[in-house]
Structures are given as structure tokens and as C-alpha cells.
């Protein structure tokens, strides 16, 4: 309790009493300042797949200091002999500090032996599949993963094996073993759900999962780039690439119809299907940019956890910052010597992709003597238009108004 500070006011201890039954497990929460209502503790522990048997609260009032609280809870766990205590304690603290969502996927911490950041991978894929138009609800997919914890663990293992910058093992045996176990799943719906997770992970091209914040901890958001055509049941038209960004506060997607594309970023209030909204805008952007750049792009985000005093324009800056810093799709990547550079912990499976900012793709003025072999060229990281000489064959058509009908206005 003396080590608790103003910023870190919570610590937990999962322990087995010295005197008691072999399956007796207790969970102690030490809290400084504001007390913790039991009605807020129970949902977190229930989603971690534990049952609360009793509670013993204690209030400690030091001389001249803020009061502290000790909550000693008796738990019954599904497995009591091989518990990862650190993972359980970190998962509870992450949910309580709103760094992780409080949903049914947290059951995988005990059932599958996953850590809280590893559960975030499956949660982000689940959110992404929901945006692509899957017919299964999130609660149904959570129950499916909870009934197949071994497959859930292997899905996370495949994700980490494909993108870990420190180790790049051969993923073919992992994929073959996963497909063998998926064929043994009896339920047709569960087989479709688990195959959807597998195909989404195999369609990923890069991710920021292994990047860290300035303090050395995991980032608050997870982003991954996907080859859209590789995801089954993806609604048409297929973007060439898309970047999905997930965090408990903000979710967003950036759809790009080509390697070089022009588009903007907008706020969407359609939380359940904002990708459908962005997909329609990307189609319109392709038509709009037909004579400007090769194709179009569009991005959108939703605020999942708005601030109490948030207005339509207030959260724009932090939300856009979270989305723009997650991938190079918002900030332009300037290649040098024909290659695009990535951070050391940014693992990519593609050799070269170019992405351009919506605000900075506006064509700068060029002299008429600039050599150009095609209507479009890339120079110094900027998309530039060709001189009028390369576009002489382009004509404009005047559209006549419809003939007026007698008696009409």
C-alpha cells in the first residue's frame, strides 16, 4: 500500500492460503483513495471465468494520508493447479484501468493460457470480422473461442510466428495442424467462425503488435494491414489493401483501392458497420479521382468511448492522432532508393507498398519541360500530374439539360 502512487492506485495478488483446502484460491485487491464497489468488481471477474464465493473488505486509514482499501475475495477457478498468476493479475488490472475491454474473450486468459495483449489480437480480429459483414455476433464468436481454447491458443501462436521480428519460424506446420484440428470441429457454425479467424490472420501483411510505447509497454492500439481479397465472404468491391485499427476507445479502417491512392479521413457514427460506410465512400472516391490519380482511398473511425463532454468536433484530434499514428496510411511513406523504411519492430510481409496522405496528394505545380513518360509519375514521395502534353487526347463532354416539358416549372 505504501508503494501505491497517485497515478497507479491499484495492485492485485492472487495467492493460495497456507492453511486451507487444496483448491482454495484467494484474490486480494489493494486500492488507494476511492473504494471499489463490489458490483463493478464482479463483472470483471466473471468475464475472467471465475466465481466469487466471498468477500472480506478492510479499510486502512493511515495517519495524515488517504484511506486505502483491501478486498480479499475467495474464488473458484476452472483450473487451480496450473494458473498463470501474472497473466490473471495483469488482465484484471488492464480491464479495470480501461486498457482492455471487459467481454467474454477474457475467459481465454485461464482457458487458453493467453495474456491480455494476446487476447487483444483475437478481439481485434473479431471486431474486424464483424465489420466485414459476418452473420455471427460477437457474443457467439466469444463462446466459440471459449469452447475451443486450444485452437484459440494456436491462432495467436500463428499470428506471433508470422510477424515476430526476432524469430521467423516456418509457419507451414502450424497452418497444417490448425487446418487438421478445424476439420475435427463438429459444429458447422464454429468451423466457419474459426476458419474466418484463420483466414483473417493469413491475410495480414503487417502489424504494429510488437511495437512499444516510449515507456516500453505495449501500445494502446493494435493495427494490422490486410490484403482484402484473401478474406473470405468479403463484400465487393475488394480494396487492394486495408488497415484496421482497434483500441477500446477508437476503431477505424482505411481502405485503399490501389498502391497509389488519394482520399480522406472522416468521422463515422455507425459503430456496427462503419466499414460499409467507408467502402461506399471509397467507391465514390475512385470515380472522383479518375482524372487526378489512378484510384481512390477512404478512411473512417468511430469513437467507442467518448468523453463526457465530447461534442462532434471535440474528439477529432485525439481520435485522428490514434488512427494516423497506427499505420503509414495516414502519414505518407517516402521511399528512399526504391524501398520504404519501417521501424525495427514493425514486421511486414510485403516488400514495398506506397501510401499517400489525403491532404498531401494534391498535385504540385511542375514546369512544362519536366520529362514525363506516363500520365502519372511518382517523384520524391509525392504524386504529381503530367504536363498537358501527355493529356491531349482527353476531351470533355457538355451534358445538355433535359428538354423542358410544357406546363412544368
Strand residues in 238-282 grouped as ranges (E): 241-246, 250-256, 261-267
Conformation bin of residue 338: beta by default, left when phi > 0, alpha when psi is -120 to 50: left
Conformation bin of residue 20: beta by default, left when phi > 0, alpha when psi is -120 to 50: left
The residue with cell 460477437 is 138
DSSP 49: T
Residue of 127, 225, 271, 298 marked active site: 298
Measured distance CA(126)–CA(391) in Å, rounded: 46
298 counts as catalytic: yes
What are the cell numbers at 75?
Answer: 474464488
> Cα separations (Å) of 351 from 180, 244, 324?
31, 20, 22
Measured distance CA(269)–CA(291) in Å, rounded: 31
Bond from prior residue into 237 cis (ω within 30 degrees of 0) = yes
The residues assigned a catalytic role are 298
Amino acid at each position: 500500500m505504501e508503494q501505491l502512487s497517485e497515478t497507479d492506485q491499484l495492485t492485485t495478488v492472487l495467492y493460495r492460503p497456507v492453511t486451507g483446502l487444496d483448491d482454495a484460491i484467494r484474490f486480494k485487491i489493494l486500492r488507494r483513495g476511492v473504494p471499489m464497489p463490489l458490483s463493478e468488481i464482479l463483472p470483471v471477474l466473471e468475464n475472467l471465468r471465475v466465481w466469487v464465493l466471498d468477500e472480506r473488505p478492510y479499510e486502512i486509514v493511515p495517519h495524515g494520508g488517504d484511506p486505502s482499501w483491501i478486498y480479499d475475495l475467495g474464488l473458484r477457478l476452472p483450473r487451480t493447479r496450473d494458473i498463470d498468476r501474472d497473466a490473471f493479475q495483469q488482465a484484471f488490472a488492464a480491464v479495470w484501468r480501461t486498457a482492455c475491454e471487459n467481454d467474454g474473450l477474457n475467459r481465454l486468459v485461464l482457458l487458453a493460457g493467453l495474456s491480455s495483449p494476446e487476447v487483444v489480437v483475437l478481439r481485434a480480429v473479431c471486431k474486424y470480422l464483424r465489420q466485414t459483414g459476418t452473420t455471427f455476433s460477437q457474443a457467439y464468436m466469444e463462446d466459440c473461442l471459449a469452447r475451443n481454447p486450444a485452437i484459440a491458443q494456436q491462432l495467436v501462436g500463428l499470428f506471433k510466428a508470422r510477424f515476430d521480428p526476432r524469430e521467423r519460424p516456418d509457419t507451414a506446420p502450424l497452418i497444417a495442424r490448425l487446418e487438421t484440428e478445424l476439420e475435427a470441429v463438429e459444429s458447422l457454425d464454429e468451423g466457419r467462425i474459426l476458419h474466418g479467424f484463420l483466414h483473417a490472420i493469413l491475410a495480414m501483411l503487417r502489424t504494429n503488435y510488437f511495437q512499444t510505447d516510449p515507456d516500453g509497454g505495449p501500445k494502446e492500439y493494435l493495427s494490422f494491414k490486410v490484403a482484402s481479397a484473401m478474406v473470405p465472404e468479403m463484400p465487393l468491391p475488394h480494396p487492394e489493401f486495408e488497415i484496421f485499427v482497434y483500441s477500446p476507445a477508437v476503431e477505424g479502417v482505411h481502405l485503399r483501392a490501389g498502391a497509389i491512392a488519394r482520399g480522406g479521413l472522416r468521422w463515422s457514427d455507425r459503430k456496427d458497420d462503419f466499414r460499409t460506410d467507408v467502402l461506399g465512400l471509397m467507391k465514390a472516391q475512385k470515380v472522383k479521382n479518375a482524372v487526378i490519380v489512378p484510384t481512390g482511398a477512404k478512411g473512417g473511425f468511430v469513437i467507442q468511448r467518448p468523453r463526457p463532454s465530447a461534442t462532434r468536433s471535440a474528439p477529432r484530434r485525439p481520435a485522428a492522432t490514434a488512427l494516423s499514428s497506427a499505420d503509414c496510411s495516414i502519414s505518407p511513406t517516402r521511399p528512399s532508393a526504391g524501398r520504404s523504411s519501417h521501424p525495427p519492430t514493425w514486421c511486414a510481409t510485403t516488400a514495398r507498398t506506397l501510401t499517400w496522405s489525403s491532404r498531401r496528394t494534391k498535385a504540385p505545380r511542375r514546369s512544362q519541360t519536366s520529362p514525363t513518360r506516363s500520365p502519372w509519375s511518382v517523384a520524391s514521395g509525392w504524386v504529381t500530374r503530367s504536363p498537358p502534353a501527355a493529356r491531349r487526347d482527353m476531351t470533355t463532354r457538355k451534358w445538355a439539360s433535359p428538354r423542358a416539358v410544357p406546363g412544368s416549372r
